[in-house]
Amino acid sequence: MLSRQAGYEELYRTHHERIVRLCRLLLKDRSEAEEAAQEVFLKLLRASKEPLPGAWEAWLTRVAVNMCRDRQRSWWWKGRKEDSMALPDIHLSSNDPTPEETTVRREERERIWHFFRKLSLRQQEVFVLRYVEGWSGEEVAKILGVTAGSVKQHLFRAVHQMRKALGDHV
């Protein structure tokens, strides 16, 4: 039987990367995301002193989403502005797609990110949890503390918007 400390370390190893990615998607900033994820696992450490609930994965996700939302609602967050910094191109090996294909894919990716950023915060949360994290509609509703109908409504709008990035319409 794993001790509490070992259980915490196991949870950290399993979920840390996922939580950082989730926070980065919602906060738009890698360093902020890492900071938020750190706070999430700090909460986990405090909570792990109490009887362990079964669904840690959902618990961590809920705490992470709430953490991101709290940050975005804070007064100091509103005094920030977005800036962009192009990442260096990754070197392509001979097996990689042709430059034309890469260009098309690159534009497509940029469009997807651009349209994702245009979604409302709630739509981003719902879309990420459903199609990036892979939670079911009911689970997303539980994590966000909203009704299944509300999740469906936000999801439909988000999908409609996101498919515009690919030139499709639902």
Which residues are near another protein by CB under 8 A?
21, 25, 27-30, 32, 76, 79-87, 106, 108-110, 112-113, 116, 128, 131-132, 137, 152, 155-156, 159-160, 162-163, 165-166, 168-170
Of 16 and 28, the one with the shorter C-beta distance to another protein is 28
Contacts of 71 (CB under 8 A, 6+ apart): 27, 32, 36, 77
For another protein, the closer CB: 96 or 168: 168
Residue number with CB closer to another protein (8 or 126): 126
Rounded CA gap, 75 and 66, in Å?
A: 16
Q: Which residues, including other chains, have CB under 8 Å from residue 149's CB and lie 6 or more apart? A: none
> In the bound complex, what is the minimum distance in angstroms from residue 160's beta carbon to another protein?
8
